[in-house]
Amino acid sequence: MYIKPAHIILMLAALSQGGKGAQLSPDVQTLCDDFWQWRLQDMPEFATFVGFHAYNDRLDDLSMEAYENRLNKVYEFLGRVDFLAPTLTEHEDIVNMKVLRDELTTFIEGYQYKNFYLALNNKEGIQVDLVARTLSWMPLVTVADYNTMLARLQAVPTQVTQIIQLLSAGVEANITNHELSMNKVPSQLEEFLVITPEESPIYKQFFSEFPANFTPDDVAAIQASAKAVISDSVIPAFEELHAYVSLQYVTRPDIAITSLPNGQALYAQIIKFHAGLEKTPEEIQQVGFNEVARIEALMQEIVYELGYNMSTQNFSNMILNDPANFYTTEEDLLNGFRYVVYNVTTPAVPLIFKNIPSAEIM
Ligand SMILES: *[C@@H]1O[C@H](CO)[C@@H](O)[C@H](O)[C@H]1NC(C)=O
Ligand SMILES: *[C@@H]1O[C@H](CO)[C@@H](O)[C@H](O)[C@H]1NC(C)=O
Ligand SMILES: *[C@@H]1O[C@H](CO)[C@@H](O)[C@H](O)[C@H]1NC(C)=O
Ligand SMILES: *[C@@H]1O[C@H](CO)[C@@H](O)[C@H](O)[C@H]1NC(C)=O
């Protein structure tokens, strides 16, 4: 749930498409299909991402009401899963319902933490997703495709208003990002705050070149509409968001996710979401410590094999401080690299790869 809910369920998509010869019973297939169709319709940006283009004229509805409806719908699907599951006997059916149930309960369990209030950060949000993802994934082949993109751009102000409402609700509830996750957002938004629409990254990327079969009239009409929607809708919306993020949004003081309300439980939930494990952060960290110890023991063996009676740390210090391990001239350095490239790496490539590029390494 730390990721946009749109990312749930890729796997189910694959399952519900039937997989390799997997035949589901009709009730299970219907439930998977209904769920998938709902996902596409409910999250049109996700639909675009998976190559389903019927909802390309819309953006995701990020209103509070939409999130509540989404939760209710997920409960409804869960009810259907729980009704169907006890009647199933086929392995494929049982597995599919288990996976769907897990996805649904993950959404429900995560919902209470309201992490959708964290609607923007340096890596995610409309200011980074719109051009690089959502619009880039849309086909632009026909005039209708362009009109679809223009319609989607018309929806930017509505979504921006919803984002500001989510961020504000987060400030009220102390569910906010840390400054380190937000510090690039204002400058990312500034890329859209241009004087003329032709300077907009949206215009430059999507409305400056057209398929060769478009008539000059097609192009002129699309460009006129693009300029209008960018000037009248997109730029003002991004200005508003920029002002909100720069002047009003309050970042959280502590960096740890546990500093959010109900933070320990939230952290456990995030682990469950990402790792699929019911483990505490301490247990997960211990896995890391154990791995470091295991690898270090292997390194230690090598140190002994080389005839040194010292710790790996001391061995490492020794190597780093031994002038014999350093090149002294530029020519030596280059020859050393040439040796590695041509005498060590090149002969080893066919041992690992089947299709070897014929170009020489330069
Ligand atoms: C948010 O944090 C402030 C300061 O710690 C506190 O006074 C306030 O009660 C908190 N609000 C909520 C809704 O938890
Ligand atoms: C390795 O060094 C330790 C002291 O650091 C010493 O007690 C031990 O006898 C040494 N082992 C060998 C094989 O030299
Ligand atoms: C590592 O080096 C330090 C001094 O540089 C020495 O005191 C220590 O005994 C060494 N330990 C091992 C295990 O080699
Ligand atoms: C590296 O390989 C080249 C032939 O490709 C050979 O002439 C050269 O002597 C080798 N260098 C070393 C250091 O083995």
Q: Name the residue at shortest CA distance from atom 5 of ligand 3.
A: 314
Residues of the chain with pLDDT under 70: 1-22
Q: With contact defined as beta carbons under 8 Å apart, do 120 and 167 qualify?
A: yes
Which of 160, 163, 154, 158 minimizes the C-alpha distance to 233? 154
Closest ligand (CA of 314):
3
pLDDT at 121: 97
pLDDT at 3: 38
pLDDT at 358: 83
Choosing from 338, 341, 342 the residue with most ligand 4 atoms within 8 A of its CB, the one to mutate for a pocket test is 342
pLDDT tens-digit map of 65-80: 999 999 999 999 999 9
Whether 342 is in the pocket of ligand 4, judged by its Cβ within 6 Å, is yes
pLDDT tens-digit map of 296-355: 999 999 999 999 999 999 999 999 999 999 999 999 999 999 999 999 999 999 999 988
The conformational region for residue 251 under phi > 0 = left, psi -120 to 50 = alpha, else beta, is beta
Q: Could you tell me the two tokens for 303?
A: 């140190």
Whether 337 is in the pocket of ligand 4, judged by its Cβ within 6 Å, is no
Q: Name the residue at shortest CA distance from atom 6 of ligand 4.
A: 343
C-alpha triplet 141, 147, 148: angle, nearest 5°: 85
* In the chain, where the domains are located: 1-113, 119-278, 280-326, 329-362
Q: Name the residue at shortest CA distance from atom 4 of ligand 1.
A: 174
pLDDT at 361: 76
Whether 173 is in the pocket of ligand 1, judged by its Cβ within 6 Å, is yes
For 3, 101, 184, the CA distances from 123, given in Å and listed in that order, are 11, 29, 9
Q: Could you tell me the two tokens for 238?
A: 């991004």
pLDDT at 12: 44
E strands in the chain = none
Q: With contact defined as beta carbons under 8 Å apart, do 120 and 245 qualify?
A: yes
pLDDT at 6: 35
Which of 199, 213, 194, 192 minimizes the C-alpha distance to 129? 192
Burial class of residue 331 in the structure, from the number of CB atoms within 10 Å of its CB (0-12 exposed, 13-18 middle, 19+ buried): exposed
pLDDT at 14: 43
